[in-house]
Amino acid sequence: MKEQGFSPKRQLGQNFLVDPNILRIILKEAYPLQGKRVLEVGPGTGILTTALLKKGAKVTAVEMDKALASHLKEGLLPNPNLRLITGDILKLELETLFEEKRIEKVVSNLPYKITSPLLFKLFLLRRLSEALVLMVQLETGQRITARFGEKGYSPLGILLQSCYQAELVHKVSPEAFRPRPKVRSAIVRLELKKEQLSHPLRTAMRRVVSWGFSHPRKKVLKSLSLAQPEVEWKRLLSKAGVEPANRPHEVSPQQWLALSSAFLENYGD
């Protein structure tokens, strides 16, 4: 990488995929790609970008690092199937980007520091992606895919699994990257369910679940009341079939959904 004129920036969490076997797994999990409109976040040196283009995808790639973006422009542009955006994905207007480019899939080796905030933003889009295939930190991958009662059960997994079938498909060694990260990674695949929650309900669920886990060691009634004291949580919990004395991790996804529906019905705009 140094011979190409740049070095990884630790502050940006840059760890570049170099293992072709892992690349093949990502492409397999993202199949089909021919003609699909794909968002790639953090293309880095372009190894995944190049592979996506070869598979016939129409790629919108967002790279924050100006030096890397310049490198990608020199190596990959012009290409009618690639649009390269230099900028911070968390500061872009994702709703507009997804509508303009009609994004169908997100396939990325994500910078680990932005994974959770980005996934929360993607969850709140009016039109959800049909699939996401992501390289993430192993711990995050376990939180995304953890079921009720399992270690790692968390707001991120509850929300994403309300809309997607989530699976951790492969654990990845630090040896697959340069420089090597200090943590293990994982490839996760999320496939959009046929039955979808409405955007208002997803918005309500994002708020309610976050409030409920804001004090994870407290009882769910206490946690919710501390976050939003003006809401009649005891009545809503009863309506949703949730025991007020339960801890947040003892509330099932179905109960969180029912509680969010009750909140939307009583306090929605």
CATH number at residue 244: 1.10.8.100
Q: What is the structure's pLDDT at 11? A: 47
Q: How far apart are CA 154 and CA 81, in angstroms?
A: 37
Q: State whether 68 and 102 are in the same domain.
A: yes
Q: State whether 166 and 211 are in the same domain.
A: no
Domain boundary among 171, 192, 213: 192
Q: State whether 28 and 98 are in the same domain.
A: yes
Q: State whether 120 and 246 are in the same domain.
A: no
What is the dihedral sign for C-alpha 179, 180, 182, 188? positive
129-172 pLDDT tens trace: 999 999 999 999 999 999 999 999 999 999 999 999 999 999 99
Number of domains in the chain: 2
Q: State whether 51 and 117 are in the same domain.
A: yes
Q: State whether 119 and 251 are in the same domain.
A: no
Domain boundary among 192, 212, 234: 192
Q: State whether 208 and 174 are in the same domain.
A: no
Q: What is the structure's pLDDT at 52? A: 98
Q: How far apart are CA 114 and CA 229, in angstroms?
A: 30
165-206 pLDDT tens trace: 999 999 999 999 988 999 999 999 999 999 999 999 999 999
Q: State whether 254 and 129 are in the same domain.
A: no
What is the dihedral sign for C-alpha 198, 269, 120, 53? positive
Q: How far apart are CA 212 and CA 250, in angstroms?
A: 11
**pTM for the whole thing?**
0.93
Q: How many CB atoms lie within 10 A of CB 148?
A: 16
Q: Which domain holds residue 247?
A: 199-267
Domain boundary among 192, 226, 251: 192
32-83 pLDDT tens trace: 999 999 999 999 999 999 999 999 999 999 999 999 999 999 999 999 999 9
Six token digits for residue 181 = 């990260």
Q: State whether 187 and 232 are in the same domain.
A: no
